Copies of this chain bind each other. A is one copy, B any other.
Amino acid sequence: MDLSLKPAATAVDAVRGTLAEHFGDRLQSGTSFCEQHANTATGRGTQAPDMVVWPETTQEVSLIARTCWEQGVPLIPFGAGSSLEGQLNAPLGGVSVDMSRMDSLREVLAEDLIAVVGPGLTRKRLNEELRHTGLQFPIDPGADASIGGMCATRASGTNAVRYGTMAENVLALEVVMADGTIIRTGTRAVKSAAGYDLTRLMIGSEATLGIITEITLRLRGIPEETIGGVAGFPDLQSACAAVIIMVQIGLDIGRVELLDPVQIRACNAYSGLTLPEVPTLFFECGGTDASARDTARIFTEIAEEEGALSIEWTAAREARNKLWQARHDSYWAALALRPGCKGLVSDACVPISKLAESIAEARADLDARGLTGTILGHVGDGNFHVVLMTDPEDMDEAAQVADFLKGISRRAQAVGGTCTGEHGIGQGKITSLADEAGASLAVMRAVKAALDPRNILNPGKLFGDLA
C-alpha cells in the first residue's frame, strides 16, 4: 500500500473545517466514532477514517463530495457496517459518510410494486414498513444490511434463486458523483433500453464510482402460500444432485440452502434445532396454495430419488421462521463453535454442475489444513460459503486461512466461476479480481479514471494500487 497517496494533513484539516461549519456535531473525529466506522464485522484489520459525518439530504452528500473533491480527500459511505471484505476501511484516512439518517421509506407505489428509499434504510425495517401493503422486498443477504450498502456490493442471499440479486431489483438510483454532481439513473419503468445501464454500473461498484443517495426498488407480492421443508441427505453429492435437477426442470424454487454436517451441528447448538448432522437442504417455495403444494410434492419426489434420508414439510409460519432464522444466524452459530475467535467467510460461486465437487474440495482442504470451518450455500445459484473461525493472533493460522481463501477463489475461477457471488471485492479479493477480470480490468480502471479522476471515492478497494 503506497501511503504517499495519503492526503496531506492540511487537506484533511481543511475538509474538517468546512464540514464542521455546516454539520456541527453531525461531524465527529473521535477515535471511537472513527473505529466504529471501519471494518468491524470480520477478523480483517481495522483502518479508521479521519472523521465521520452524518448527512441528512442528498444536497449535504453533494457538499461533502465537493469538499473532498477540492481537497483530494477520500470519502467512504457507511451503511450498516455489515460488509465482509473490508469495504469500509479507510487505508488513506478520509471521511466516513454515515448514511443512517437518510433512512426513510420515501414513497410506496403499491400498484407499480415500487418503493423509493433512502440508502440508510435497512432491509428488515423496509419490510416491516411494507407489511400492511401485502408487498415485500425479498432480497435477503442474512445481515440486516442497509439498502444502499446492498446496492454497493451487489448483494443477494437466500432468495436470489427466485428473485435475482440487487442488480435485478433496483430500477433507478440517485447518485452523487465524485465532484458533487447529482445524477439520476434509470426510471420507474420495469425495463428500459435508453442508453448505458448506469444503474447496473453503480450496483456492485462498492462506492468507487459514486455515492448512492436514493434507491427505487422493485417490490414483489407476498405469495398466497409458502411451504418450508428440510431434507437430510447421505452425502453432499446427492443433495447437490437434487438441486441441479430442480433448477434444470425450472421448478419454482423460493429458496434452497445447503448446510454441511458441521454447520448443522453449529445450528443445533446455537438455535436449538435437533436436525441429524448430515448434509441438509433447507427449502422454501411459494405461490398459490395449489402451486406451492405441487412444487413441494415435486421436491419430495426428486429428493427421494436422490436418496434423501428424511424430508419434513411445514406451512406453519412459526416453524418456518425458526428454521430460516437459524440459517441466518449460521455465521454466529459457526463462530460459537470456537469461542473467542473471529470469522472470515469465503464466497465462491460456480456453475451448478461444479458445486458438489467444489464443496467437497473445500472441505478436504479445510481438514488438511486443520482449520475450523462450516460450509453452507445458496445452492440454487452455485454460491457457497465457508465460515472460518480464526484466531487473528495466531500468525501461522492466519497464513493458512489466507492460503485457503485464495485456493477457494482460484478453484472457482478454474471451473468458470467467480471469486465472489455476493460479498464483493473490497480489500479482500483484489488479486482474485485481477486474476478473474484479466484484460477487462483495464476497462474497469478506465471507467474508474473517467468518473473519479482524483480517486477520492473509496480508494484502495477493487484495485491493487489504491486507484
Q: How far is the CB of A148 from the nearest CB of chain B, in Å? A: 15
A residues 410-447 near B (Cβ < 8 Å) are: 412-413, 416-425, 429, 432-433, 436-444, 446-447
Cβ contact within 8 Å between B190 and A420: no
Quick check: A203 and B197 within 8 Å, CB to CB? yes
- A436: chain B residues at CB < 8 Å are 187, 194-195
**Which residues 245-287 of A sit at the B interface, judged by CB distance below 8 A?**
247-250, 252, 287
A195 touches B425 (CB 8 A): yes
| Residue A351 lies at the interface, judged by CB distance under 8 Å to chain B | yes
What are the residues of chain B within 8 A of A223 when measuring CB–CB?
250
Pick the residue among B183, B287, B382 that contacts A189 (CB under 8 A).
Answer: B382
CA distance in complex: A353, B110 (Å)? 9
A-side interface residues, number (CB < 8 Å): 98
Chain A 180-197 per-residue mask, 1 if CB under 8 angstroms from chain B, else 0: 011111011111111111
Distance of A462 Cα from B440 Cα, bound (Å)? 23
Does A16 have its Cβ within 8 Å of any Cβ on chain B?
Answer: no
Chain B min CB distance to A249 (Å) = 5
A418's nearest neighbour on chain B, judged by CB, is: B192
Segment touching B, from A29-37, A160-168, A228-236, A398-406: A160-168
| A188 x B290 contact (CB < 8 A) | no
* Bound Cα distance from A418 to B114, whole angstroms: 15
Does A360 touch B at the CB level, under 8 Å? no
The smallest beta-carbon distance between A237 and chain B, in angstroms, is 13
Residue from A190, A204, A429 whose CB has the most chain B CB atoms within 10 Å:
A190
Which of B110, B111, B160, B416 is within 8 Å of A191, CB to CB? B160
- The verdict on A28 contacting chain B, using a C-beta distance below 8 Å, is no
A181 — which chain B residues lie within 8 A by C-beta? Answer: 439, 442
Decide yes or no whether A451 CB sits under 8 A from chain B: yes
Q: Tell me if A220 is interfacial: C-beta within 8 Å of chain B.
A: yes
Contact among B155, B252, B298, B449 with A450 in the assembled complex (CB-CB below 8 Å): B449
Q: Which B residues are CB-close (under 8 A) to A291?
A: 252, 287-288, 290-291, 294-295
A350 within 8 A of B: yes
Q: A349-B192, A417-B187 are in contact. Are A154 and B197 (CB under 8 A)?
A: yes
- Min Cβ gap A62→B in Å is 11
- Chain B residues with Cβ below 8 Å from A374 are none
Given A248-B221, A439-B183; A418-B194 close (CB under 8 Å)? yes
Q: Is A213 an interface residue (CB 8 A)?
A: no
Residue contact B446 to A450, C-beta cutoff 8 Å = yes
Residue A381 lies at the interface, judged by CB distance under 8 Å to chain B: yes
6 extra interchain contacts, Cβ-Cβ under 8 A, other than A182-B439, A200-B200?
Answer: A167-B191, A190-B352, A193-B424, A224-B249, A288-B294, A446-B451
Report which A residues bind B (CB closer than 8 A). 109-114, 135, 153-156, 160, 164-165, 167-168, 177, 181-185, 187-198, 200-201, 203-205, 209, 220-224, 244, 247-250, 252, 287-288, 290-291, 294-295, 298, 347, 349-353, 381-383, 412-413, 416-425, 429, 432-433, 436-444, 446-451, 462
A-B contact pairs, 29 of them (CB 8 A): A110-B248, A111-B244, A112-B351, A154-B197, A156-B191, A165-B191, A167-B191, A167-B197, A167-B200, A184-B439, A187-B418, A187-B436, A188-B350, A189-B351, A189-B383, A189-B421, A190-B349, A190-B352, A190-B381, A192-B421, A193-B421, A194-B419, A194-B425, A194-B429, A194-B433, A194-B436, A195-B462, A291-B291, A450-B450
